[in-house]
């Protein structure tokens, strides 16, 4: 049986140091490291307790209030390769020609400051706290001051700090560009001499599912898989109201997107619902444009209905609820 390690008590110098360090100034360190406050205890048993409590408070809709919330969710959970230019409040810092959101980056880097000073911010990395918007804001702030030509390393995000909503211009446009592969990782002027990046690019391209963003409706993405194609549509409506509307359409036999298509269920991701349709392999993204626009009109009418659900509609709603999968 291991002996208990006696806790070190700070001496006079330690007490003086402790008196000079306030809780707001104590940096985040590893859970088993000595607490920076000078108490002699491990961080997790000292000021790490408050930090641990803070990071467990889950923010259900981390992208709420940002332009294009539904597309933020889609790029986080559904789209393999995409980029979006970001607009910062107050403009770009000196030496940073652009900031671009990307679904993923080589070697799972959280962000990259390119040789020309531009910044790529990755969206699909792991979150170290319960607030993805705070994690991404922390990474973005570090990327803006990183040395050109260097990636930004992951770290445990402090409990207090800005969120994306504090850094990005709320009135800016958010229009994703979906790519067929990840060649956007490498600037055209680059000679692609990094073998690790080249290998990562090859693996990512091999795993990417062909995906296309529809133009007739918002935040709707067609994708191709070996057995069947799918349409996945991130919707901003409150979940209970949307389930009622979809149930009305399902019971009326008007929830499909045409012959051999079927509304099969939905995802729940970052506080929003994502209905999913199965499509035949012959149905392309272009083929979905008109049926999706027509469905949007039927959905709007169903959302406006305020009569109680019928027995058939309640049964349809139960089926949709049973086929709902939570992604985050």
Between the alpha carbon of residue 58 and those of residues 54, 61, 132, 171, the distances in Å are: 9, 9, 9, 26
Q: Per-residue confidence at 276, pLDDT binned at 50, 70, 90? A: very high
Instruction: For tokens 């305020």, name the residue.
Output: 306
User: How far apart (Å, rounded) are the C-alpha atoms in residues 132 and 61?
Assistant: 9
Nearest one of 243, 236, 300, 232 to 270, comparing CA atoms: 236
pLDDT digits (tens, 9 = 90+) for 119-134: 999 999 988 888 999 9
pLDDT > 70: what percent of the chain? Answer: 85
Edge to edge, the sheet with strand 211-213 lists 211-213, 220-224, 229-233, 272-279, 262-269, 324-326
What are the beta bridge partners of residue 273?
Answer: 235, 268
What pLDDT digit, counting tens, does each position of 36-60 carry?
Answer: 888 888 776 787 665 555 445 789 9
Structure tokens of 13? 């110098």
Question: Between these two residues, 9 and 65, which has the higher pLDDT value?
Answer: 65
Using an 8 Å Cβ cutoff, are 143 and 121 in contact?
yes
| Segment 165-180 mean pLDDT | 97
* pLDDT tens, residue by residue, 12-23: 334 333 334 444
pLDDT value at residue 14: 40
Looking at every residue in the chain, the average pLDDT score rounds to 88
Q: 3-class SS at 3? A: coil
> What pLDDT score was predicted for residue 39?
85
Closest C-alpha to 138, from 50, 201, 62: 62
What pLDDT digit, counting tens, does each position of 78-110 carry? 999 999 999 999 999 999 999 999 999 999 999
Look at 34-43, 47-56, 194-203, 213-222 and tell me which has the smallest mean pLDDT. 47-56
């Amino acid at each position: 049986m291991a002996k208990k390690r006696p806790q070190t008590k700070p001496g006079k110098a330690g007490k003086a140091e402790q008196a000079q360090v306030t809780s707001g100034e104590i940096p985040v360190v590893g859970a088993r490291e000595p607490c920076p406050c000078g108490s002699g205890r491990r961080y997790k048993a000292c000021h790490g307790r408050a930090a641990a409590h803070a990071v467990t408070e889950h923010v259900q809709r981390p992208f709420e209030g940002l332009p294009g919330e539904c597309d933020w969710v889609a790029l986080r959970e559904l789209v393999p390769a995409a980029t979006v230019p970001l607009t910062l409040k107050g403009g770009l810092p000196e030496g940073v020609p652009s900031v671009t959101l990307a679904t993923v980056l080589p070697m799972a880097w959280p962000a990259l400051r390119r040789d020309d000073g531009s910044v790529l911010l990755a969206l699909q990395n792991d979150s170290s706290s319960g607030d993805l918007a705070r994690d991404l804001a922390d990474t973005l702030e570090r990327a803006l001051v990183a040395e050109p030509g260097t990636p930004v390393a992951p770290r445990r995000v402090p409990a207090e700090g800005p969120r994306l909503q504090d850094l990005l211009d709320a009135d800016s446009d958010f229009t994703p560009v979906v790519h067929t592969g990840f060649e956007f990782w490498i600037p055209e002027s680059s000679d692609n001499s990094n073998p690790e990046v080249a290998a990562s690019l090859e693996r990512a391209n091999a795993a990417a599912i062909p995906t296309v963003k529809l133009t007739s409706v918002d935040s709707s993405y067609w994708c191709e898989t070996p057995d069947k194609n799918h349409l996945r549509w991130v919707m901003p409506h409150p979940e209970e109201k949307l389930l009622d509307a979809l149930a009305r359409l399902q019971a009326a036999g008007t929830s499909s997107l045409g012959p051999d298509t079927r509304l099969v269920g939905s995802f729940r991701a970052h506080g929003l619902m994502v209905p999913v349709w199965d499509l035949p392999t012959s149905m392309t993204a272009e083929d979905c444009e008109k049926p999706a626009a027509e469905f949007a009109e039927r959905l709007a009418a169903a959302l406006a209905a305020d009569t109680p659900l019928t027995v058939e509609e309640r049964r349809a709603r139960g089926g949709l609820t049973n086929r709902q999968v939570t992604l985050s």
